Amino acid sequence: MSASFQDWMKTIQAGMEQDLSSYLPAEDVVPTKLHAAMRYAVLDGGKRVRPLLVHAAGALFGADAQALSRAAAALEMIHAYSLVHDDMPCMDDDELRRGKPTVHVAYDEATALLVGDALQAQAFGVLAGVDSVPPQRLVAMLRLLADAAGSAGMCGGQAIDLDSVGISLTLEQLERMHQLKTGALLRASVVLGAMAGKDLTEAELKALHDYSRAIGLAFQVVDDVLDATADSATLGKTAGKDAADNKPTYVSILGLEPSIALAEKLRQDAHAALAPFGEQALRLRELADLIVQRKA
């Protein structure tokens, strides 16, 4: 990855931190505990992969800064809420996230539950505040975010994941689960960024969907590889938890080396999907590389 990509990424990440802070309620606003916990869950951590995808896709289609800021923040709030709930004792029961105690540990379970609920509502409010997109397209963007977050997307994938503990899944079933649990929000990030710029043609939408499918699966394959090979300090979350919880993963089904090879194939598939856009899609290609080559 080039120095210019690293500079671009750091600029987006720093701007996202400022934007998220401005879109979240202040800690001194009642209810102060809930608002402090919301900020704890969202700020000062994370790779901001989804906002990076929003900005890269938006730049490809000429979206303005305000629309990209709000779309990226909405995606990140949905993602953060999902992590807060995912870490709770009734789900994965984890104590470490982004290198710090999870929200239910730092605060309490009831507060963590409310943090997730409030962040989901906040996300839709933030996206609805975009004023540079025609109303009809904005409604379509809100619908896309709802579909990606709900039972047909992220929540549906999490439900399948919880029901799959200790069960042998086929590779096709595992892929379906992760296309919902992880892939839906990544796809929404790419498409929302693009929609912030223009009405998309069928050909443009298909290319973006093909790219998103590849990076969505690659993201999960790499997650599974890292869970099996990295330590908790590197990951910022508990390592080895999938195996300890007897969860089906790409590594448990395919093995370690074939999983690494699959991630590389998916990276190449992502690059191929972007061919119609030429050099203008450079940032999206570099993000595919980042997703596959990351170490945490």
Per residue in 53-112, pLDDT tens? 999 999 999 999 999 999 999 999 999 999 999 999 999 899 999 889 999 999 999 999
pLDDT in the model for residue 235: 60
Which sign, positive or negative, has the C-alpha torsion 209, 190, 250, 291?
Answer: positive
pLDDT in the model for residue 116: 98
pLDDT in the model for residue 255: 94
Which parts of the chain sit beneath pLDDT 70? 1-2, 232-245
Which sign, positive or negative, has the C-alpha torsion 248, 213, 11, 84?
Answer: negative
Q: How far apart are CA 9 and CA 63, in angstroms?
A: 17
pLDDT in the model for residue 160: 93
Contact 215, 287 (CB under 8 A): yes
Which sign, positive or negative, has the C-alpha torsion 277, 278, 284, 287?
Answer: positive
Contact 207, 222 (CB under 8 A): no
Q: Which tokens belong to 5?
A: 């990509």
Q: Using alpha carbons, select from 200, 153, 220 the residue that is nearest to residue 57.
A: 200
C-alpha distances (whole Å) from 120 to each of 75, 82, 165, 238 are 9, 9, 26, 25
C-alpha distances (whole Å) from 144 to each of 24, 64, 173 are 22, 19, 24
| Angle between helical axes of 202-229 and 49-60 (0-180°, round to 10) | 160
pLDDT in the model for residue 237: 59
Q: What's the CATH fold of domain 3-293?
A: Farnesyl Diphosphate Synthase (1.10.600)
**Which amino acid is residue 282, in one-letter code?**
L
Q: What is the SS3 assignment for 87?
A: coil
Q: What is the pTM of this model?
A: 0.93
pLDDT in the model for residue 291: 95
